């Protein structure tokens, strides 16, 4: 008899804690992963990806959750048509063979109630490597027009593109890439 009550209490506890996790869909019109990379040591090229999808799951009381982002690699935009075309080709992003760049979290890190980092894995050119995103800003509000909760963040990371096999121009172009992601996600119904 006691086992039955313990089992029911355990199931109730799991159900109550699971109910606290909220799912948010990435808002593609307000989410732009951007980057900057060396150009012959004389300047930095900056670009962004125009098409992003994914979801964020947050359980703020438990300080857990997950992030899954898919970037359409062909949506790369340097603001320079010839560079965009070159970047989509085999020398760089090879979008015909590798149409997406993905990021999947392994852990969310909080400082009190504030999200401060996301640890996860980025897959670029078919190579998956760990990448930690530092979250500089995170906020959730009831959106005045959507009448739903929206969460936004500004996150940054630095990585070596040669770790993923993106070796074009090395050593003339340094392999370090600075990544910045502005993201907004709308709470799912």
What Rg, from alpha-carbon coordinates, does the chain have? 20
Residue 17 covered by a domain = no
Q: Indicate the SS3 state at residue 174.
A: coil
Residue 8 belongs to some domain of the structure? no
Structure confidence by residue, pLDDT tens digits, 24-69: 999 999 999 999 999 999 999 999 999 999 999 999 999 999 999 9
Share of the chain above pLDDT 90, in %: 86
Is pLDDT above 60 for 189? yes
Mean pLDDT of 135-158: 95
Write down the pLDDT at residue 113.
87
Domain residues for the domain of 92 are 22-187
Q: Are 119 and 130 in contact (CB under 8 A)?
A: yes
The 10s digit of each residue's pLDDT in 96-136 is 999 999 999 999 999 998 999 999 999 999 999 999 999 99
| The pLDDT of residue 19 | 59
Is residue 158 in a domain? Answer: yes
* Omega before residue 171 within 30° of 0, cis: yes
Average pLDDT, the chain: 91
Alpha helices in the chain (DSSP H): 2-19, 81-88
Closest by Cα among 22, 41, 7 to 149? 22
Taking the whole predicted model, whether its pTM rises above 0.85 is answered as: yes
- Report which secondary-structure segment, H or E, holds 131: strand 127-142
Q: How many domains does the chain have?
A: 1
The answer to whether position 6 is within a domain reads no
Q: Report yes or no on 2 lying in a domain.
A: no
CATH number of 102's domain: 2.40.128.110
Residue 4: inside a domain, yes or no? no
Find all residues with CB under 8 Å of 82, minimum gap 6, and list them.
none
């Amino acid at each position: 008899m006691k086992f039955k009550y313990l089992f029911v209490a355990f199931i109730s506890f799991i159900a109550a804690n699971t109910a606290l996790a909220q799912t948010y869909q990435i808002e593609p019109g307000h989410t732009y992963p951007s980057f900057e990379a060396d150009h012959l040591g004389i300047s930095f090229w900056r670009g962004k990806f125009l098409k992003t999808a994914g979801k964020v799951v947050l359980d703020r009381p438990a300080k857990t959750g997950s992030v899954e982002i898919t970037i359409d690699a062909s949506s790369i935009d340097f603001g320079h048509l010839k560079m965009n075309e070159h970047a989509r080709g085999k020398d760089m992003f090879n979008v015909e063979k590798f149409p997406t760049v993905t990021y999947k979290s392994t852990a969310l890190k909080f400082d009190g109630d504030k999200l401060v980092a996301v640890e996860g894995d980025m897959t670029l050119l078919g190579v998956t490597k760990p990448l930690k995103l530092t979250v500089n800003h995170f906020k959730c509000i009831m959106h005045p027009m959507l009448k739903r909760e929206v969460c936004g963040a500004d996150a940054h990371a630095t990585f070596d593109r040669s770790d993923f096999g993106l070796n074009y121009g090395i050593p003339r172009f340094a392999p370090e890439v600075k990544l910045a992601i502005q993201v907004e996600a709308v709470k799912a119904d």
